[in-house]
Structure 1
Amino acid sequence: MRSLMCLLFLVIFCALQMTSNATSSIDLANSICCGEFSKVKVPVNKVVSYYWTSSIVPHHCPIRAIVFKTIAGKEYCVDPKTPWVKSHVDKVDKRTTTATKA
């Protein structure tokens, strides 16, 4: 009976470890930080997606930025306060929303 309890405890412990590690790896995959903003104005037709820099851990990233991902797979950190950035975000959102509905 005692060995069964130990085995059950070990299985539950391992399951919890695997679950917590999976969550951490997902968080780390999206936790890119930008040291500075790109000076390049990325053409909107080259942008396939975007994401915000991580805010998982407070004060983890020195600056809050949007990262544009291009067709070529390049990523550009841009200032979300820049007027053209807002326009690009809106256009990419509209594109992806339209594609999802179709």
Structure 2
Amino acid sequence: MRSLMFLLVLVIFCSLQMTSNATIATDAANSVCCLEFSDVKIPVRQVKSYSWTSKCKHAIVFHTIKGKDICVDPETPWVSGHVAIVDKRTRV
């Protein structure tokens, strides 16, 4: 009985860990929905591309070289600089 209870707690804990980070964009059928914004400044060298979304919240989604999608507030001062750098990289 004790091992069954331990297993149940472990499964619940793992489930919470997988769903707790709402700053990562969820991609369902190519529609990105941002529930919250990331407060962390992402190093521009890790940003591969970006896209705009207006589902849930109006946001910019940075797509990283590691395959993560991170929602950021377009009004944040450093975001416009990152967008300009990524634009310049992709034009060349």
Instruction: Tell me the TM-score normalised to structure 2 length.
Output: 0.65
* Aligned counterpart, 2:48: 48
TM-aligned CA deviation for residue 42 of structure 1: 0.6
* Aligned counterpart, 1:85: 79
Mapping for residues 56-95 of structure 1, pairs under 5 Å: 61-95=55-89
Secondary structure of the structure 2 residue equivalent to 1:32: strand
Please list the CA deviations of residues 6-28 of structure 1 after superposition, one character each: whole Å capped at 9, or x if unmatched. Answer: xxxxxxxxxxxxxxxxxxxxxx7
- Structure label with greater radius of gyration: 1
CA distance in 2, matches of 1:84, 1:29: 29
* Aligned counterpart, 1:22: none
> Which one has a larger percent strand, Structure 1 or Structure 2?
2
Secondary structure of the structure 1 residue equivalent to 2:32: coil
CA distance in 1, matches of 2:29, 2:40: 24
Structure 2 residues without counterparts, runs of 5 or longer: 1-27
Identity level (%): 63
How much is the aligned-residue C-alpha RMSD, in angstroms? 1.3
TM-aligned CA deviation for residue 30 of structure 1: 3.2
* One-letter code aligned to 2:36: E
CA distance in 2, matches of 1:87, 1:43: 11
CA distance in 2, matches of 1:53, 1:29: 14
The answer to whether the 8 A contact 1:38-1:76 is kept is yes
TM-aligned CA deviation for residue 68 of structure 1: 0.2
CA distance in 2, matches of 1:71, 1:82: 22
Secondary structure of the structure 1 residue equivalent to 2:45: helix
CA distance in 2, matches of 1:81, 1:30: 24
